[in-house]
Amino acid sequence: MAASTAGCFNAPVFEPGQIISRVQVEGTNYCRLWFPAIREDTLFSSRPELKDPRDGDLIFLQGPCDYDPLGPEEIRRQRADARRDQRSENR
């Protein structure tokens, strides 16, 4: 499964209230998913929340169609990224 931040693909256009785009890869159980990153101010809280998709901080991931952008796997990944970014800023 590969993930990257916005800027290296053509982001989908979000309708008001739509926070996740899922496009199934034909003949598979995998989807191309676009979803907002988790808000930094909630990332380490017990109730993380996604950013507004209009902010443009989107994540592209190809993975299972039932992938949860607020599930434990994604929260761990984004927390690890935030810690790594913080360590490199402190050098």
* pLDDT tens for each residue of 27-62: 999 999 999 999 999 999 999 999 988 899 999 999
Which residue in this structure is represented by tokens 């039932």?
A: 66
Tell me the two tokens of residue 12.
């989908």
The SS3 assignment for 25 reads coil
- Provide the whole-model pTM: 0.74
What gap in Å lies between CA 62 and CA 50, rounded to an integer? 18
Of 15-24, 28-37, 59-68, minimum mean pLDDT range: 15-24
